[in-house]
A and B are shown apart, each in its own frame.
Chain A
Amino acid sequence: NAGVTQTPKFQVLKTGQSMTLQCAQDMNHEYMSWYRQDPGMGLRLIHYSVGAGITDQGEVPNGYNVSRSTTEDFPLRLLSAAPSQTSVYFCASSYANSPLHFGNGTRLTVT
């Protein structure tokens, strides 16, 4: 069972560069979300989607874009990376009001 797959596992960017963090799930979950995890802070919600074609902002959406063209995929785009976006990013999916299943994260460093 693949579950939630995130790529890449590690990434280093320079300030101003753009990139896309990939997330795919094979459980036919309608709900998908992106969190970031920083030392001393809880996981914080960036963006989420309740189904294909529907996205909404979470607690910390600035600097990030998302789209949901299929049920399986939910990429997170950084348009112009900043050092403040250095973090570990987790993608999660679930059925509505069911426990989240998390991927193993992408560790991003912005220099």
Chain B
Amino acid sequence: EDQVTQSPEALRLQEGESSSLNCSYTVSGLRGLFWYRQDPGKGPEFLFTLYSAGEEKEKERLKATLTKKESFLHITAPKPEDSATYLCAVQAAGTASKLTFGTGTRLQVML
């Protein structure tokens, strides 16, 4: 059974204080690992897809990395508008677009 574990559950940072979110996974053949951002009362918004160990993707202050067992979402010099819940999900090979999600990390960036 595919599993995704995210840590920490919640994280509070000062503006400009860089940190990383962790996503550990077990999957029977990884097709892709996905990062989403979710704001309160909204649906998840796609950020990145990573396909193989060693791959990295960047978008503004966010950088996602992937190993064979985990992924990290690095947040550099965060701003209050980066406050959101960040979700990690995996897709197993041969499963169309069916995703298994973690429970998310709730990030709060303070002024």
Contacts and interface: CB of A to CB of B under 8 A. Distances in A.
Interface of A: 4, 31, 33, 35, 40-45, 48, 50, 58, 90, 92, 94, 96-105
Interface of B: 4, 31-32, 34, 36, 41-46, 49, 87, 89, 91, 96-104
Contacts of A96: 96-97
Nearest to B6: A42
A42 B4 contact: yes
Nearest to B31: A97
Contacts, number: 61
Given A4-B43, A104-B42, A99 B49 contact: yes
16 contacts: A42-B102, A43-B44, A43-B87, A43-B89, A48-B97, A58-B98, A94-B97, A97-B96, A98-B97, A99-B46, A99-B49, A100-B46, A100-B99, A102-B43, A104-B42, A104-B43
A94 B98 CA distance: 10
Contacts of B31: 97
A29 to B, nearest CB: 9
B45 A97 contact: no
